[in-house]
């Protein structure tokens, strides 16, 4: 239940207020050069405290690789790693031991397990995603020599939304602003909205758009392991995700086949392409060589810095007022996590595709 992937498998563990989080990456190919500076840079993108838009909680997020790498290259053996928890304010959560925060996992954990680590959300803390970012960074390193790259950006915050056409934006601008939105003007408006929401002790949702370029034709599988089904499961497993669509997505549901079908032609490169890409680079669950793009909806963070009515563990009325340090908007930090999960999914399917013909 804590493992993702078919052949390339990431298993994560850890709670936000325990000694450490970490993971094991099994099935990672041997011989990949491990650029630890890149891994650390990827982790830094996820780290809180990067700007006024995110939680002021500071986490060093210093990853220690414990195995599976020898003299700078992966060995094919499992890559175990940990990230120590530091700078915890567990006492911030003492008042939450016996009360269920609205729209959090407190009540459902209690219902499932009969007990829970109430500090910082325990296992349901978004801090778990630090392990995904380590896995994703390594996956990106393995994909790079294959010419496959992954990118994501904030395409909506509250009602402020970019065009669904990712080709309109220069994605090299994504990291130039704290919102991680490639449209500088929209980024500013989003930043203002987040600041405004935060000042009211409130939070706001949004959408991340993901993009996989250089995907060769033939990745995916016909039925349950469709490339988009695996991508969807990957994205929906991220904290606060509420929806996933790829290609034309929900908007395509309104359309006719004559509007949405992607005509094939042979390009000047001698390869088969489609003139449009409503398919989102995936047909019948298998990549067709065009860009794979998708969108992930995130709800507003459930932790509000204001009074909320709820019940305690005995079912009696109670009030919660969060004290910890929290993100007013999950979007900026969700971007690297979306990339990480996409990279893991694609690398898994690259490896699977090696087994299709003998």
Q: Does residue 233 bind a second copy (CB under 8 A)?
A: yes
Q: Which residues, including other chains, have CB under 8 Å from residue 338's CB and lie 6 or more apart?
A: 152, 208, 210, 235, 238, 296
Residue 180 in contact with a second copy, rule: CB under 8 A: no
Q: Of the candidates 61, 117, 183, 339, which one interacts with a second copy according to CB under 8 A?
A: 117
Residue 100 sits in the site that holds a second copy (CB under 8 A): yes
- The least CB distance from residue 312 to a second copy, in Å, is 9
Specify burial of residue 310 (Cβ count, 10 A radius: 0-12, 13-18, 19+).
Answer: middle
In whole angstroms, the minimum distance from the beta carbon of 93 to a second copy comes to: 12
Binders of a second copy among 300-339, rule CB under 8 A?
300-304, 306, 308-311, 315-317
Using the rule CB under 8 A, which residue among 37, 185, 268, 270 binds a second copy? Answer: 270
* Stretch touching a second copy by CB under 8 A, among 55-63, 101-109, 171-179, 184-192: 101-109
Residue 299: exposure state from Cβ atoms within 10 A (0-12, 13-18, ≥19): middle
Q: Select 174 or 209, whichever has its Cβ closest to a second copy.
A: 209
Give per-residue burial for 179-217: e unless 16+ CB within 10 Å, then b.
bbbbbeebbeebbebbeebbeeeebbbbbbbbbbeebee
- In the complex with a second copy, the residue whose CB is nearer, 176 or 195, is 195
Which residues share a beta bridge with 266? 272
Q: Which of residues 235-264 bind a second copy (CB under 8 A)?
A: 236-237, 242-250, 252-264
Site for a second copy (CB under 8 A): how many residues? 156
When asked if residue 268 is in the footprint of a second copy (CB under 8 A), the reply is no
Binders in 184-223 for a second copy, by CB under 8 A: 197, 200, 202-207, 216-223
Per-residue burial over 152-173, b if 16 or more Cβ lie within 10 Å, else e, is bbbbbbbebebebebeebeeee
């Amino acid at each position: 239940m804590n493992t993702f992937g078919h052949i390339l498998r990431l298993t994560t563990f850890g709670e936000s207020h325990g000694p450490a989080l970490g993971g094991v990456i099994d099935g990672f190919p041997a011989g990949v050069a491990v650029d630890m500076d890149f891994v650390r840079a990827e982790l830094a993108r996820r780290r809180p405290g990067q700007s006024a838009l995110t939680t002021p909680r500071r986490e060093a997020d210093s990853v220690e690789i414990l195995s599976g790498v020898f003299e700078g290259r992966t060995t094919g053996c499992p890559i175990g790693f940990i990230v120590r928890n530091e700078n915890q304010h567990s006492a911030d959560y003492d008042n939450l031991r016996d009360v269920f925060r609205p729209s959090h996992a407190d009540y459902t954990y209690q219902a499932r397990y009969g007990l829970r680590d109430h500090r910082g959300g325990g296992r349901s803390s978004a801090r778990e995603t630090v392990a995904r970012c380590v896995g994703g960074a390594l996956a990106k390193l393995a994909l790079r020599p294959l010419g496959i790259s992954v990118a994501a950006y904030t395409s909506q915050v509250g009602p402020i939304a970019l065009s669904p056409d990712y080709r309109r934006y220069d994605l090299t601008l994504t990291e130039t602003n704290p919102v991680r939105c490639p449209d500088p003007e929209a980024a500013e408006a989003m930043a203002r909205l987040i600041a405004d929401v935060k000042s009211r002790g409130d939070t706001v949702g949004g959408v991340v758009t993901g993009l996989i370029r250089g995907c060769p034709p033939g990745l995916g599988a016909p039925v349950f392991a469709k490339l988009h089904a695996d991508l969807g499961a990957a994205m929906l497993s991220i904290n606060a995700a509420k929806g996933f669509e790829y290609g034309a997505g929900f908007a395509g549901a309104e359309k006719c086949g004559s509007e949405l079908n992607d005509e094939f032609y042979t390009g000047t490169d001698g390869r088969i392409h489609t003139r449009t890409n409503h398919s989102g680079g995936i047909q019948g669950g298998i990549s067709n060589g065009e860009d794979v793009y998708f969108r992930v909806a995130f709800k507003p963070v459930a932790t509000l810095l204001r009074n909320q009515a709820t019940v305690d563990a005995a079912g009696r009325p109670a009030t919660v007022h969060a004290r910890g340090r929290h993100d007013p908007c999950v979007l900026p930090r969700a971007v690297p996590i979306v990339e990480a999960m996409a990279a893991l999914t694609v690398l898994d399917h690259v490896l699977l595709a090696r087994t299709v013909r003998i």
